[in-house]
């Protein structure tokens, strides 16, 4: 495998993923971790926000330098090696950010089969101005700045740019030259190996003790649950909290998928009344979230306590849940609140296991496919933890919940029938409890407004409203007004994020 030593770059995990995509297992370690070199065939030093001259700049350990393994230093990693091995790193009043042209000036195994001039992605102020003794410069930028150096005999390579970023032309090829060529790894690793190793690892960690997981039916917790179930069988207890704010038939679907089809030891807790009574007369969205988050913890705690000698809590944390703390170069993990409703109890006396924490969403989905989870679960749109509570504007009651469930299910069903469900990132309906006039048959009616929202997005940080064809919106609208008598008017939300958010509350 390849070790990726993290110096705090926002691209570290991406780097690890790119190497895995080349069929070579890669693992991220922190620069000050105790590193085991077992099975390691190469080391990549990531970039980072520090300057090598900062007083508390993260360092490179002698163990790494003396491990006699090929090393590739990227950006900060390159500068760190330059300084450590006797070269010079300076600031010269110029910085290179973004697309930059470089020219190869000397032969290098790293640049095998790559044109002599190409564009790379840069992000640096500090630069290597003198390479260590016995090192040679292998490329320069159009500003005449050293963009790579190496010592082929020692197998040490440094590049100033980021090969992991898509904007770097031939970036993947450069990584491939390092991993397949210089490190000599064949590239036969697949996510199948990840699954096998993870199952073994979970089994070793948990042994014959018991574990619980809060299953939401979302992709991450589902994959984490099934993976852990493969490892420890029914010693994993999955808890599904029905807070009454779920979509039409959601409880039945989760139960049939996980209990009947996947064979999980699943308990559904019917906590509808608890949640709904706490939410009575509450109109403020943040207040709703807070109540649901807290109540969720209480319910989960109660269930956990019923389980004797349960020692572990499984969480479906994935890589994007990781918050980077740039300063120290150390990463801290946000506790993945069960469907992000606000966190799990802090005083709960359980050890946390996060089997998916190094994976990206697409890798999580592939793992799910390997484990035999149905597509409907793996390619589901995201659904917020507080559920329909934040899709009913203002006060929630059972009547409004019933209406919204019907409207939402018509919308989603139509999107699925027309092939649009998989084209958009997230789609749902919102109930606006404002009465407007309509006409049904010969009679005047007076009903609520339903808003349809569908967005295209990558991670939900920004979003565009989806350009669903009018004909389809037309079908949805008439189905809704025909089948849900409390709705007299249907509107389609054409705002993007920013300035609007995806959810209405």
Query: What is the smallest separation between the CB atom of 324 and ligand XMP, expressed in angstroms?
Result: 19
- Neighbour count for residue 334 (Cβ, 10 Å): 11
- Piece of the chain touching ligand XMP by CB under 6 A; list 38-46, 177-185, 350-358, 497-505: 497-505
> Is there a binding annotation on residue 337?
no
The H helix count followed by the E strand count for the chain is 13, 20
Decide whether 154 or 503 has the Cβ nearer to ligand XMP.
Answer: 503
| Contact (Cβ atoms closer than 8 angstroms) between residue 59 and residue 329 | no
Residue 51: how many CB atoms within 10 A of its CB? 14
Helices (H), 247-382: 250-255, 272-279, 285-306, 361-370, 375-378
Interface with ligand XMP includes 339 (CB under 6 A)? yes
Residue nearest to ligand XMP (CB): 340
Q: Which of 243, 240, 249 is nearest to 267 (CA)?
A: 240
d(CA 28, CA 16) in angstroms, rounded, equals 7
Other beta carbons within 10 angstroms of residue 238's beta carbon come to: 26
Residue list 287-326, contact with ligand XMP (CB under 6 A): 289
Q: Name the catalytic one among 96, 150, 164, 358.
A: 164
Looking only at the bridges linking them, the beta strands covering 88-104 and 156-159 are unpaired
Alpha helices in 139-218 (DSSP H): 171-176, 191-206
Q: CA nearest 70: which of 14, 121, 16, 110? A: 110
Residue 447 Cβ, how far from ligand XMP at the closest point, in Å? Answer: 26
Active-site residue flag, 229: no
- Total chain residues near ligand XMP (CB under 6 A): 13
**Out of 460, 492, 493, 495, which residue is the one contacting ligand XMP (CB under 6 A)?**
460
Alpha helices by DSSP H, listed for 112-187, are 171-176
Q: Which residues pair with 323 in a beta bridge?
A: 332
Is the distance from CB of 69 to CB of 42 less than 8 angstroms?
Answer: yes
Among 307, 324, 456, 503, binds ligand XMP (CB under 6 A): 503
Q: How far is the CB of 473 from ligand XMP (least distance, A)?
A: 21
Segment interacting with ligand XMP (CB under 6 A) among 103-111, 147-155, 378-386, 480-488: 378-386
Query: Min. distance of Cβ 17 from ligand XMP in angstroms?
Result: 22
> If you count them, how many residues does the chain have?
505
Q: Which of residues 408-427 bind ligand XMP (CB under 6 A)?
A: 426
219 is in an annotated binding site: yes
Q: Is 328 annotated as a binding residue?
A: no
CA–CA–CA angle 420, 421, 424 (5° rounding): 80
- Is residue 221 marked as binding? yes
115 phi, psi to nearest 5 deg: -55, 160
Task: Kindly state the helix (H) or strand (E) to which residue 406 belongs, with its residue range.
Answer: helix 398-417
Cβ-based nearer residue to ligand XMP, 264 or 341: 341
Q: In this chain, which of 23, 343, 345, 382 binds ligand XMP, going by CB under 6 A?
A: 382
Q: At what angle do helices 361-370 and 191-206 cross, to 10 degrees?
A: 80
Contact window for ligand XMP (CB under 6 A) among 28-36, 114-122, 357-365, 494-502:
494-502
* Helix/strand/coil for 191: helix
Q: Does residue 164 carry a catalytic annotation?
A: yes
For the bound state, the minimum distance from the C-beta of residue 256 to ligand XMP, rounded and expressed in Å, comes to 24
- The reply on whether position 497 binds ligand XMP by CB under 6 A is yes
Query: 87 or 384, CB closer to ligand XMP?
Result: 384
User: Is 183 annotated in the active site?
Assistant: no
Out of 16, 386, 414, 431, the residue judged to bind ligand XMP by CB under 6 A = 386
Nearer to ligand XMP, 398 or 459 (CB): 459
Q: How far apart are CA 201 and CA 387, in angstroms?
A: 34
139 binds ligand XMP (CB under 6 A): no
The catalytically annotated residue of 124, 162, 243, 338 is: 162
Give the residue numbers annotated as catalytic, written as ranges. 75, 162, 164
What residues make contact with ligand XMP under the rule CB under 6 A? 289, 339-340, 382, 384-386, 426, 460, 497, 501-503
- What residues are designated binding site for ATP? 216-222
């Amino acid at each position: 495998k390849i070790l990726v030593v993290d110096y705090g770059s926002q691209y570290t995990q991406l780097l690890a993923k790119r190497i895995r995509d080349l069929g070579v297992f890669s693992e991220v370690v922190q620069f000050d971790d105790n590193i085991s070199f077992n099975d390691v065939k190469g080391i990549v030093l990531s970039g980072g926000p520090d300057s090598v001259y900062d007083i508390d700049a993260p360092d490179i350990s002698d163990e790494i330098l003396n491990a006699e393994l090929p090393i590739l230093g990227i950006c900060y990693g390159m500068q760190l090696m330059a300084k450590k091995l006797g070269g010079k790193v300076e600031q010269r009043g110029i910085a290179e950010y973004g697309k930059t042209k470089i020219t190869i000036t000397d032969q290098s195994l790293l640049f095998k089969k790559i044109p002599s001039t190409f564009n790379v992605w840069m992000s640096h102020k500090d630069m290597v101005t003198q390479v260590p003794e016995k090192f040679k410069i292998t490329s320069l930028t159009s500003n005449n700045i050293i963009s790579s150096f190496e010592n082929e005999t020692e197998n040490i390579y440094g590049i100033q740019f980021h090969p992991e970023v898509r904007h770097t032309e031939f970036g993947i090829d450069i990584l491939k030259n390092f991993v397949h060529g210089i490190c000599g790894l064949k590239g036969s690793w697949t996510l199948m190996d990840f699954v096998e190793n993870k199952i073994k690892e979970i089994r070793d960690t948990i042994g014959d003790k018991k574990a619980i997981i809060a299953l939401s039916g979302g992709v991450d917790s589902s994959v984490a649950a099934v993976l852990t179930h493969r490892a420890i069988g029914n010693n994993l207890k999955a808890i599904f909290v029905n807070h009454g704010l779920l979509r039409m038939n959601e409880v039945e679907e989760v139960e049939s998928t996980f209990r009947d089809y996947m064979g999980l030891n699943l308990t559904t807790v019917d906590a509808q009344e608890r949640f709904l009574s706490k939410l009575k007369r509450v109109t403020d969205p943040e207040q709703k979230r807070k109540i649901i988050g807290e109540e969720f913890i209480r319910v989960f705690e109660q269930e956990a306590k019923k389980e004797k000698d349960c020692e572990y809590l499984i969480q479906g944390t994935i890589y994007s849940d990781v918050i980077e703390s740039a300063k120290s170069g150390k990463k801290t993990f946000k506790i993945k609140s069960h469907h992000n409703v606000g966190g799990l109890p802090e005083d709960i006396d359980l050890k946390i296991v996060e089997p998916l924490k190094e994976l990206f969403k697409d890798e999580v989905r592939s793992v799910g496919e390997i484990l035999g989870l149905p597509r409907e679960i793996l390619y589901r749109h995201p659904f917020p933890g507080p559920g329909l509570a934040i899709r009913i504007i203002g006060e929630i009651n059972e009547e409004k919940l019933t209406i919204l469930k019907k409207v939402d299910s018509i919308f989603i069903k139509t999107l699925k029938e027309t092939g649009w469900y998989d084209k958009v990132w997230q789609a749902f309906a919102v109930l606006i409890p404002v009465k407007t006039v309509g006409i049904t048959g010969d009679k005047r009616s007076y009903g609520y407004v339903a808003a349809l929202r569908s967005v295209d997005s990558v991670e939900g940080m920004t979003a565009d409203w989806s350009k669903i064809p009018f004909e389809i919106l037309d079908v949805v609208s008439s189905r809704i007004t025909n089948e849900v008598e409390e709705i007299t008017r249907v509107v389609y939300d054409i705002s993007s994020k920013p300035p609007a958010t995806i959810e209405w509350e």
